[in-house]
Amino acid sequence: MNARHDALAAAAKLALGIRTIAKKHADAVCTMGSVKTFPGIVTAVVGRCEVTLDQRDLDAAVLAEMYREAQNASQRFAEEERCTVNWSRLWNIEPVPFHPQLLGLCEEAIRETAGASHSMPSGPLHDAAEVSRAGIPTVMMFVQSLEGISHNKIEDTKEEHLEMSVVALDRLACKTMNWILKQR
């Protein structure tokens, strides 16, 4: 056991370490969504391990800090497990804020429909981010998923929440049209 150079052990430590990194920031998330081991057989110590890391925050400076922290942590864990680590960036996008006026109208429409509104930063890249970057005022409205599970085959939403979302979206559309007409 003392002679091992276990890349999976280093990756496992990083998978746990990124939680601490994200918890330092109110709206940050870090997710290790993919782990591939080589040679990938039950009787062999993992000599190479490839992982993906997704980090999200609304503040570009926080993202940069989290990225450095993850790199430093991975280096530390690699040294502990007597292996090496290399990083490559698969993809990167700066945070894209939504339009403040539309955010306010969206919150208003939701409060009128449901009685309360909860703000949630959206880290995933949606088409809305590209629309916003094109200079078009943009906002997103989310409907609660049961158990907080989304992007999964067991994702589900209560029917009454879906009905409220249609009403709230209609209200947002009306408020947005009125806002646009007032600007003309």
Q: How high is the pLDDT of residue 15?
A: 98
pLDDT tens per residue, range 127-143: 888 898 899 999 999 99
Cα gap 10→12, rounded to integer Å:
5
Cα gap 62→46, rounded to integer Å:
32
Residue carrying the six token digits 């919150």? 107
The H or E element containing residue 36 is strand 29-38
Q: Are 94 and 130 in contact (CB under 8 A)?
A: no
List, in order, residues 6 or more apart from 101 with CB less than 8 Å away.
137, 179
| Tokens (6 digits) for 166 | 């249609």
Closest CA to 3 of 45, 31, 63: 45
What CATH number is given for 7-80 in this structure? 3.30.70.360
Q: With a cut of 70, list the residues of the chain below it in pLDDT.
A: 123-125
Q: Are 133 and 96 in contact (CB under 8 A)?
A: yes
